Chain A
Amino acid sequence: MLETGSVSALRLVAAGPEGTSEILVELGIVLLVLAMLGRLAARLGIPSIPLYLLAGLMLGEGGLIPLDAGEEFLAVGAQIGVVLLLLLLGLEYSPQDLQHGLKTTWFAGLVDGFANGLPGFLLGILMGWSVTASLLLAGVTYISSSGIIARLLGDFERYTNRETPVILSILVMEDIVMAVFLPIMAVLLVGASLSQGAVAAAVAITLVAAAFFVSFKFSRHVSAAVHSRSRELLLLSVLGLTFLVAGLAEAAQVSAAVGAFLLGLTLSGQVADDVRDLMPPLRDVFGGIFFVFFGVTIDPRDLLPVLLPALGLAVVTAATKIATGMWAARRAGIGSKGQWRTGVSLVPRGEFSIVIAGLGIAAGVQPQLGPLAAAYVLILAFSGSLMMRYAAKLGPPSRWLPARASTR
């Protein structure tokens, strides 16, 4: 078995099939562009996700440099990117974190969901979209980017701040909601009728609950079985298990992403620590491919018609996010400046809005969903992180006025 494998591999190297060189060249270009943009983002102090999206828009059909040979590889790479993104998200949290989050923040989570999902849903309905497509847009506008926010909190040295636990627990709550929202959407996207959808959604929720149960009860056993001192063996076991679980989840119509997220929750202890050390670069590379690929699938010419709705949605949902954040912080006894920081910090939207929109694109539910989500995330990932940097420092708007008056 091994021999035939290596022989065909040799053949591939000696005389690759038609198109191999194009695929490699295109892949090389994509990765180098990502590397350049990553450096640029680091220098400017902005998140790299929106830059990767922009790169995808420019590389795709209708863009400056159209790609086609490597698209199939990019598609698979993007899928791997989503799976790794969610695996590591799951790994970030221990079951105890989630339990604590559910207990303390469920109400804030509910308010957050309504205040920020509703504008998206209403816009979808207003534009004449189906209920399913509008629900997807609600998901896009609801979920803040835990990736961008946690990173910036670290960069701005705000972990010690008293409002930070409020921000983080809202992010946890959003991620828990994601774990339930994604499978329901996955089901709605295939199941035609609402009653069929309801039954299937119940099945999906039961599956998720069962997975939660397993992760609480048997976390130690699964982790012990996967663990190895060899980095190579650990990586192979974790990746193998992840793809297997993700694939099976996809086959059961729960969505690969959710399967990976639940597996991430299940792994704990030493394995989780080791994988958290080992995996982020891999996730960032494939995650980058995911954002580029999302951009590639969107024709930049489709952005123009949705620019205005996206802008309006961004303004409205930035305001609703700030309001919910401030409300949650006030409930936790945080002062007015801290309330403002909490609200502003929750504004950035990013990776998960794209994951949700990607789900809709794959199902071909609404052609405008992709461009709208792309424009929306571009606007809020940039402006949200700028607001986190500057608005948070300046303090709440109520303080700007007297300060200005006194300088005059």
Chain B
Amino acid sequence: MDIFETPLPGVGVRYEFTAESGDRVGIVVRRDGKRDIGIYDREDPDDCTGTLELSEGDASALAELLGGTNITARLESLRHTVEGLAIEWITMPGHGGLTNRTIGDGHIRTATSASIVAVIRDEVGVPGPGPNFELQAGDTVLVMGSEHAVGQARQILIG
């Protein structure tokens, strides 16, 4: 799918794509975080039949609803913080990040100093997975380290 990007000086950025149904969709990401979603008129291809204005929070909620599997990812991503120590459960996304790659590929230990303590797959725990352990979509990864390191590790894991 081709997504066209046009800068809107003073406002933000406008993205546009054609859906498989033929409907053309435009999304404006404003600098203040608001999003406008518009569906273009079939008679007048430059005008929208209606627009939807979303706050940043609305937009991420909508994205999760549209994304389906990501909802569970968000719900299962829990972080516990003890003074100086953070533990987080991270669910692997459908694709991207380290999904279908090995733990060693992420260089999490060397890059962030956080460690992967265990992986939970199909409700079975795998404690202390090695660098050759290949992560799959839906795996829950237990990461431990400093608050900052865990955040970075999360970035590497989910991409």
Contacts and interface: CB of A to CB of B under 8 A. Distances in A.
B51 A168 contact: no
A337 B46 contact: yes
A150 interface: yes
Residue among B7, B38, B48 with most chain A CB within 10 A: B7
B27 interface: yes
B10 A159 contact: no
Interface string A243-283: 00000000000000000000000000000010010000000
Contacts of B45: 162, 335, 338
Contact of A334 (B37, B46, B50): B46
Contacts of A161: 26, 38, 46-48
Contact of B11 (A150, A157, A334, A341): A150
A146 B44 CA distance: 25
A26 interface: no
A405 B27 CA distance: 37
Interface stretch (A69-77, A92-100, A117-125): A92-100
B7 A100 contact: yes
Interface size range of chain A in the complex: 20 to 34
A160 interface: yes
A234 to B, nearest CB: 17
Contacts of A100: 7, 9
A337 B14 contact: no
B23 interface: no
Interface residues of B, number: 26
B64 interface: no
Given A157-B53, A335-B46, A337-B46, A93 B30 contact: no
A97 B10 contact: yes
Contacts of A334: 46
Nearest to B51: A157
Interface in B13-40: 14, 16, 26-28, 30-32, 36-38, 40
If over half of A's interface residues share one DSSP class (helix, strand or loop), that class is named, otherwise mixed; here it is helix
Contacts of A150: 10-11
A51 to B, nearest CB: 24
B65 interface: no
Contact of B9 (A93, A160, A335): A93
Contacts of A341: 46-47
A168 B28 CA distance: 14
A160 B7 contact: no
A92 B10 contact: yes
A169 B6 CA distance: 11
A160 B53 CA distance: 10
Contacts of A97: 7, 9-10
A162 B9 contact: no
A308 to B, nearest CB: 36
Residue among A100, A163, A169 with most chain B CB within 10 A: A169
Contacts of B46: 161-163, 334-335, 337-338, 341
Nearest 10 A/B pairs, CB to CB: A160-B38, A338-B46, A162-B46, A97-B9, A160-B26, A92-B10, A157-B51, A337-B44, A172-B9, A159-B28
Interface of B: 6-11, 14, 16, 26-28, 30-32, 36-38, 40, 44-48, 50-51, 53
Given A157-B50, A172-B10, 10 more contacts: A92-B9, A157-B53, A159-B30, A159-B36, A172-B9, A273-B31, A335-B46, A338-B46, A338-B47, A341-B47
Interface of A: 92-93, 97, 100-101, 146, 150, 157-165, 168-169, 171-172, 273, 276, 334-335, 337-338, 341
